[in-house]
Structure 1
């Protein structure tokens, strides 16, 4: 091998180690960069020259070159953050972001996101994070920009009211009737009076707010009065009402709020065992096809209520003047297990409407159903003072977005002033068959190439993709100690190759001086 060949071999070593220095330097410079993935350089020897020695041919190498520079895509450590939109991927995958100016798609592991002034979730350079919109808790449509644009939670009309209370069994019967003892309290109601129910006519009352389909709040008041009975059973009468002026139901073409039935929504009885447990109940509502078309309070117009699919009796309300009434179920803690067959009522006592109630009626005659207790918090009647344990309903007013959260499955949910939580978007993640084929664009971004293959798209936590962690960021996976060790090795190699060059130069100069 010639002296010049030795010099070129040394120079190739210098060039290779210089490239290695650049790789290590870049790793060290990005040792604290969010989501950075370290690189490693690999060398290979170059072509060989054949040298004949004696009767055999031998080879002498001609230096070194860079074989590849590979990226280590292994998981970086987590660092806590105070921002909920700082998210880290635990496992495989990349966030998908789109440059709004060029529509170019990029991929990143850096999850330091925030919402811009237009409500878009963006990275540090304004690239928009991609995900799927949520509809009824399922993703819908195609990947799109994640954007919260004046997000509101729509109102929900109340469909169920639940009351859990105790009624003092030692109370007196305040509304009495010798002809209709089981509807005496209802008989004192007058929607045209103020108040519609006289304070002296009931033993206990409680009020809960419900919501119409437009999100308006309305008070629903329940009145209770003990029924004096000669057959030894403990029976309470109840009446469910709303504000008379807010009752916009229609009665035979007349606004019901101008009648004595204004605000009267449901009435009935509750029968308790000697130990105070609720055993059965009745529920009457205003008929859709009244017999008496002039007086909505007429007893013959109040018939046994229908049941919903859960076996709860239904009453109708209308607070907005809508064409369809709002159906609300009443839950005292009992449901009908046979509500799907007919009306679900056992009327062997001959009582189909309140008109059938009279002085001869006993608790055995009262309509009943196959009752099943829904929980331990059913209404009771004991010697304890009357009190309300729980009041709940499932409606709510419209709400304004006040906070967001991100689940491990990548679901971005909004919390609203009405106490509701709504799933808004699901993050999209991408993965590639050949990660080494990705092109590093800088700014923590990668782009797909023909070598990487097309992006495989999925949701966090699905097959092949990692989950997300909120309030944390993935840190650089650079091992500083390893990189400093590599730097020392590279420095020694560089110095050795420089010695080869200077030695070859000295030899070459000696050869030239011989000619002189």
Structure 2
């Protein structure tokens, strides 16, 4: 009967508008939720077969929920370096467990990047999910598999121990005075019996030779210990552009080798324009040899080597002498810059646009820990929403593909930012008003149909 169909159509209208009100309520409630994606109930009419010509049976309406997951929210700056947003397509991969992950543990996807370092050192967002990434090996390699979630681990930025970096390079910027007078001891100088290292040790002119100029620096060994090393020079009488040179440890006991901790000895040569002539410099071995000194490990064979009591590993140190000059001005040191760092602990975390998470140590070292993976879907609007502002894959969404941030269509990571909710307050309040009016109108349909049925029933009296 048409009156019954009208009443049922009104009921369907109440149901559809109730769903619309629920979606609007969710949107308004989550207007400040990080990376929240608005929902909307769209209406579609239901058409019933008209069995009798001239009579119309109402079909009503059905509400179809649509998720706007693929819509990009506004990215705004945040205070924390671990607040992250994805600029472009893709989702962070997260899990409910920080450690002990197995294949059976579920992984979900989110764009809510409000991550903080928890008490165990894991990056965890406000919903309690742990951020996943590929661990970076000590040599910088990543075991990358775009279709295997189990290759990812929860990122921990504190369970790293201490960081030590042995000195590998020394930058030396100095000038040697071309006007330097020849020392009286230069004629008796011998790097084996009357070395500059010997004089530095005991100041005995009978066994050592006082250098004309010395440059001292600190070297960090493989265990983070600090050692003083001297780069000493003596003007040669044989050639106006030639200097005797020695590199030795202070104290000599740190190194087992030549006289009084001597590590290297030879000549440093200069061109006629005052620049260094590395092609004819013999301080590091044969003329033209790479400007590198090598110290064997403690207890190892060969000399020079670190003292056996130190227990440290082998070490090669390269000297950058391109800025060592011989000009007619006072001998002076401009810059001595050895790299390396003593023992340090984690004091901060940084993330770059490529998704590389690095730990910052208080000794100024930066260690790469992991690289964040970004999951993309053929149809992100087909994902299934779950609690915690996250999603699961469905048949409609298609299979995930894990990509490196900024590559293969995946969005890049934007550090120290957060993605805002996509909710538009003015649009939601407008929808709230129209939904309320539509609901009232549908209720009036039911009231009118009820009155007409009353009239029909009263006809038999």
State TM-score, norm by structure 1: 0.77
* 1:79 has 2:76 as partner: yes
Distance 2:204 2:153 in 1: 57
On the 8 A contact 1:78/1:475 being kept in 2, the answer is: yes
Gaps of 5+ in 2: 99-103, 145-150, 296-303
1:61 is matched with 58
Distance 1:305 1:219, change over 3 A: farther
Distance 1:91 1:189 in 2: 64
Distance 2:335 2:61 in 1: 81
Distance 1:193 1:45 in 2: 97
Distance 1:413 1:185, change over 3 A: same
Q: What are the superposed Cα offsets for residues 157-212 of structure 1, whole Å, 9 maximum, x if unpaired?
A: 3333332210112222225444x67x589834364973368698222111011122
Distance 1:45 1:276, change over 3 A: same
Distance 1:431 1:139 in 2: 20
1:484 is matched with 429
On the 8 A contact 1:89/1:467 being kept in 2, the answer is: yes
2:265 is matched with 267
How many residues are matched?
436
The one of 418, 421, 430 aligned to 2:363: 418
Deviates more, 1:167-176 or 1:314-323: 314-323
On the 8 A contact 1:115/1:122 being kept in 2, the answer is: yes
The one of 158, 165, 174 aligned to 1:165: 174
* 1:235 has 2:222 as partner: no
Distance 1:306 1:325 in 2: 23
Distance 1:312 1:390 in 2: 18
* 1:189 has 2:168 as partner: no
On the 8 A contact 1:36/1:476 being kept in 2, the answer is: yes
Distance 1:410 1:427 in 2: 5
1:27 is matched with 27
Distance 1:395 1:72, change over 3 A: closer
Distance 1:509 1:197, change over 3 A: farther
On the 8 A contact 1:164/1:390 being kept in 2, the answer is: yes
* 1:331 has 2:331 as partner: no
1:279 is matched with 277
Q: What are the superposed Cα offsets for residues 315-350 of structure 1, whole Å, 9 maximum, x if unpaired?
A: 5453352697533333322xxxxxxxxxxxxxxxxx
Distance 1:126 1:92 in 2: 23
Distance 1:192 1:509 in 2: 121
2:305 is matched with 318
Gaps of 5+ in 1: 251-255, 286-302, 334-377
The one of 409, 414, 435 aligned to 1:464: 409
On the 8 A contact 2:355/2:412 being kept in 1, the answer is: yes
Structure label with greater radius of gyration: 1
State TM-score, norm by structure 2: 0.85
The one of 227, 231, 234 aligned to 1:222: 231
2:147 is matched with none
The one of 118, 142, 154 aligned to 1:139: 142
Distance 1:506 1:421 in 2: 78
2:256 is matched with 249
On the 8 A contact 1:132/1:426 being kept in 2, the answer is: yes
Q: Please state whether the residue corresponding to 1:162 is helix, strand or coil.
A: strand
Deviates more, 1:192-201 or 1:388-397: 192-201
